[in-house]
Amino acid sequence: MNLQSWLKEPMSTTELLANLRSRLEPMHEKAAYIAAYMPDHVRETIANAELAYQGMIMLPGTGGAREFVGNPPGWLTRRHNDNEYLWQLNRMNHWQDLLEAYSLTKDEKYGRKVIDELLNWTETVPIPDDLMDKPLGYFTECHPLRALELGIRAYKIWPLVLEHLGHSELFTEEVLERYLTAVYKQMKALRKVSPQLWPKADHNHYLMECLGILTTALYFPELKEAEEWKTFAIDGIEKCSLAQLTEDGGQIEGCPSYHNGCMFWFGLAVVLANRFQFQFSPPYMERLRRNLDYSLYSLRPTGKCVPVGDSSANPLAVMAGVYGYFALNDISWLGLATNLIDVTEVVREASRHAWRALDVRKFAEELHSLRGRQFELDKPTTFWNRTLDQAIIRSGWDMRALSFLFTCKSPIQNAHAHIDLMSFDFTALGKDMICDPGFFCYRDDEDRRQFKSSNYHSTLLIDERDHFEYINSFTFGPQKPGGIYNVEDRGFYRIASACHTNYEPIVHHRHISLVDHRFVLIADRVEGLEGHSVQRYFHLDFVEVKESHDGVTATSDIANLAIATSHMGKLDLLPGRLSDSNDVARHSTRVRFQDSHSGRVHFLTVLIPFQGAQPPAVQIMESEEGVFLFELGERYRVEVDDKDMRISKQA
């Protein structure tokens, strides 16, 4: 195989390079504007580029710190018992800082470093002519030619080499030939295997793989397959939007981090359409618009998304807002995010994407305007995604609001889920209080098992058993039905109700309610017990936790939490860990109430955020089966039956 045989018409490399250069963006103009008007972003970029130039890169397995990966990198070296280390090294994300630093400074060393690594990669990772004929399983294994890596390189980083270096003397005809040879072979294989790996188009991998094929077709229309690849990829991305973007808003995998990533990927597709003059369908654009709201709903009032499933607690709702703006010419989602994320952080995060703006001047002006504007966030404060089986209820759209996300989906959509049926994440008074632990890592090890396990989430267990079997990092045993069946606004309280049957014949119903915008009430009804032990876990983002009269009190320098329960049983305060980002965790406390029961039992738990030294005094009394009374400023009566919980106020 040779380059000339892949082209529609005979053409010299000189002509091909000239054609390519005619399609590239005016990066020198972008660089001049970014250098003049985004100085903080420029300083951060150059500092990161210096570290990348030295071979110091942060990757999965490196413990949240940079380490030397080699000069050139060891592309085939798997470290830290972590497949993600090798995969992500081969995505070359560190090139982005080097390329941007080159455009900003015109210091040839940054561009030369990228070219040298690109040429070294093509020598170190040979791409056989028969790559597309490899068995399907080959494209899921731990090597640089996994299908996802083929897609990510082709849409995200390698095109930046063209944009930043394509006009320079560094990007020679020989480099173009090496570049296009590698990309062509990869995309030819990906076009064949990707639809086989993801026939339902219901996974973020397929979206990124289609983006890689589309990007290649747009940058190199001279290729014989370019038009077919373009048609295939556009159709594939449309199918992804149908299969993945739910009617209520929220990407189908139910992980806020991946949802925000999908807003980037679906939005980037529209950026490419605008640049290369084609369109996605009106239904596609409407689904994108509708799903951008989930990026706001899944934000804690403290400004980071709830890390449900394989998610990190990060502010990437900003990234979703950026690509909402790029795709829809609407700054609303970025503006609304400033209600929950400090505007300086919003501008900082958004600035990282300035190079992808087709009109960088206008984008910078819009970002600058965020500092002096108020965006009223008037969206409903009760949200139910029936496809994801998630409910999000909050007292308001300010940073001190009370807010919880409640989830129960069984069987799961895919293995990015955790074993966390009827778990929840709770924030109040500017403090993350009861937290989903996040995912910490993808390694198939004890850390992975622990962070995915039921007892690391705030839920109820029987006999300390997971809700369903954990087999390995991305494999679970069979699951039985479970889900959220009601979400309702009842005036002074709003309620979400769920049930699952994974402990069959034992059945568990859980009702969780935000009451009077002041506290959260949880009622558990468990039926079919025969001397089983019942554990109720609450994973607290506190290290100062102590037993109180009817529960526990947790304190911090921001805000405090009192937990009162009707059935304390045996109380244990257990160590925990919460992970906001890959390979990084902090100490936390898991509260466990446990006892043995037979027949049917009801538990009532009240979560009361407070400030000051004196915790509220709450005594819960069960006056009859499933009927509870307690006083908290007012007297409340709670009735729990088979499928509902009703709250009333007593005179």
Identify the pLDDT of residue 372: 86
Report the distance separating Cα 56 and Cα 84, nearest Å. 17
**pLDDT tens profile 377-408:** 899 999 999 999 999 999 999 999 999 999 99
**pLDDT tens profile 233-287:** 999 999 999 999 999 999 999 999 999 999 999 999 999 999 999 999 999 999 9
Residue 178 in tokens: 């090496």
Indicate the average pLDDT of the chain.
97
Percent helix, strand and coil across the chain, each to the nearest 5:
40, 25, 35
605 φ/ψ angles, rounded to the nearest 5 degrees: -130, 135
- Residue 651 binned pLDDT confidence (cut-offs 50, 70, 90): confident
Q: Which of 439, 454, 460 is nearest to 578 (CA)?
A: 439
Identify the pLDDT of residue 101: 98
**pLDDT tens profile 161-170:** 999 999 999 9
Percent of the chain topping pLDDT 70: 100
Interval 331-337 mean pLDDT: 96
Identify the pLDDT of residue 468: 98
Q: Side-chain half-sphere of 202: how many Cα atoms within 13 Å?
A: 11
pLDDT greater than 60 at residue 1? no
Identify the pLDDT of residue 481: 98
**pLDDT tens profile 455-498:** 999 999 999 999 999 999 999 999 999 999 999 999 999 999 99
Identify the pLDDT of residue 327: 98
Interval 419-439 mean pLDDT: 98
Report the distance separating Cα 6 and Cα 226, nearest Å. 10
**pLDDT tens profile 73-129:** 999 999 999 999 999 999 999 999 999 999 999 999 999 999 999 999 999 999 999
Residue 558 in tokens: 């921001």
Identify the pLDDT of residue 28: 94
Report the distance separating Cα 550 and Cα 564, nearest Å. 5
Interval 18-31 mean pLDDT: 96
Report the range of poorest mean pLDDT among 370-374, 441-445, 554-558.
370-374
Alpha helix ranges (H) inside 136-172: 147-152, 158-165
Burial (CB < 10 A; 0-12, 13-18, 19+), residue 597, is middle
Identify the pLDDT of residue 3: 84
Identify the pLDDT of residue 549: 85
CA distances from 574 to 308, 539, 553, 592 (A): 21, 9, 14, 7
End-to-end alpha-carbon separation of the chain, Å? 85
Report the distance separating Cα 341 and Cα 348, nearest Å. 11
**pLDDT tens profile 504-537:** 999 999 999 999 999 999 999 999 999 999 999 9
Identify the pLDDT of residue 334: 96
**pLDDT tens profile 137-147:** 999 999 999 99
Identify the pLDDT of residue 2: 77
Residue 346 in tokens: 């919003």
Residue 251 in tokens: 């990407």
Identify the pLDDT of residue 617: 87
